[in-house]
Amino acid sequence: MFKLNVNVQQTGPIPLNAEFSCLPGELLALVGPSGSGKTTLLRAIAGLYRPQHGHIECAGDIWLDTRRQHSLSPQRRRVGMVFQDYALFPHLTALANVALPLRHLPLPLRRFNAEAWLETVRLKGLENRYPSELSGGQRQRVALARALARDPQVLLLDEPFSAVDQVTRRRLQRELARLRQHISIPIVLVTHDLEEAAALADQICVLHNGNSLQQASPETLFRTPASPSVARLLDRHNVYHGQVVESAGKRRLRWGNVELDVATGLEGLAIGTQVAWYLPPSDIVLHRRGRPSHGERENPVAASVDDMLVLGGMTSIALRVQHGDVLRFDIATHAARRNDLMPGAAVHVSLLAGGIHLMPGQGVDMAPNEKRTPP
């Protein structure tokens, strides 16, 4: 199996303390703010950068083991890499660019393989065009064909869609999803686009200041982040703190002046324990005026509309509860109008018990506009 395992540490100049893995046929997205070490980690895998300490293994081969002073050169690592700017040779045609890693083959076979890869990425007929004669999306596909022509054991993609317009970006994302059906190697994608990561990746690794904070499937990360820091880095806003209490012989979560039922997670916690907790926006149910909705009797909470932002067919809502915390979620704009939502309006919502995710032992770094105010 061509599994990729990465474990690297260093104190500077770019601090790193990262560990992640990627299975054959799997796409792992590295996400995090600028300066979190994403591109440096790709370069370390490719052998273009040597960290102070670390171990990198792919397909059972040790590419880096700093304890043994062992490091394979980039040429000996079977890596296909697509750089952010594609790094095509401007004086070579598309065919010649793709044929570069095939120089060990006889000329006829070299041409045959290069043409086959161009056809795989749907560029048949453009073999003789130079990079300056290709669109941004076409150049990206030439770079991808060249990376795959090396018959790599791992494919590394450094923000490969960032230099193209939104329509081309979506088309290239679909192309990558289609191409994955034909290759069975680990793919590591660096991206700043969380929607892109969620759409393409089987696994996401969240990085911050060089530290890998959590690796999991997109669904797991977006519903059960390991810490408030992970939630914030994933642009999740509904992070709060509460206390485990007992009410009528049942453990509940006290949040300000409200006691909430929680489906799982309270059983092993002592009464009085302070916990951070998160609620996905999809688990906030707005009580519809005049029409009771399913789940309205589950953790009902009174609030007022603090802010509204209409974004076409969706409206972003911020509700302030009595003790000062803010709940954020999106609803269809027509639903916001139907419910007469406007700043200052009083509303009721239910917080579904099955969506409340507890993070015991984690502090909460409140955003400036979410500081609690006295009731």
Q: Is residue 336 part of a domain?
A: yes
| 92 and 15 part of one domain | yes
In a domain, 111, yes or no: yes
118 and 201 in a single domain? The answer is: yes
**Using an 8 Å Cβ cutoff, are 54 and 226 in contact?**
no
Q: Report helix angle 136-149 to 107-120, nearest 10.
A: 130
Residue 203 placed within a domain: yes
Are 22 and 159 part of one and the same domain? yes
Let me know whether 348 and 291 are in one domain: yes
Which of 233, 267, 283 is the C-terminal boundary of a domain?
233
Same domain, 300 and 318: yes
Q: What is the DSSP letter of 287?
A: P
> Which parts of 33-77 are beta strand (E)?
53-58, 61-65, 70-71
pLDDT of residue 107: 84
Please give the DSSP secondary-structure letter assigned to residue 288.
Answer: P
| Spans in the chain with pLDDT lower than 50 | 366-375
Q: Strand 326-332: give its sheet, edge to edge.
A: 284-286, 346-351, 300-311, 314-321, 326-332
For the domain that residue 213 is a member of, what is the CATH number? 3.40.50.300
HSE-up of 352 (CA within 13 Å, CB side)? 14
**233, 261, 282 - which closes a domain:** 233
pLDDT at 290: 60
What residues contact 81, with CB distance under 8 A and at least 6 apart? 42, 46, 147, 155, 156, 157, 158
> Which of 293, 281, 373, 365 shows the shortest CA–CA distance to 330?
281
Question: So what's the pLDDT on residue 271?
Answer: 93
The verdict on 157 and 182 lying in the same domain is yes
My answer on whether 211 and 247 are in the same domain is: no
Which of 127, 154, 112 shows the shortest CA–CA distance to 4?
154
The pLDDT value recorded for residue 52 is 94
Distance CA 88, CA 83 (A): 9
262 lies in a domain?
yes
Cβ atoms of residues 82 and 140 within 8 Å: yes
| Torsion angle, alpha carbons of 179, 152, 199, 135, to 10 | -60
Among 203, 233, 263, give the residue marking a domain's end.
Answer: 233
- DSSP of 164-197: S-HHHHHHHHHHHHHHGGG--S-EEEE-S-HHHH
Q: Is the peptide bond before 13 cis (omega within 30 degrees of 0)?
A: yes
Domain that holds residue 129: 4-233
Count of structural domains within the chain: 2
253 in the same domain as 167: no
344 and 212 share one domain: no
Pairing of the two strands 239-247 and 274-278: antiparallel
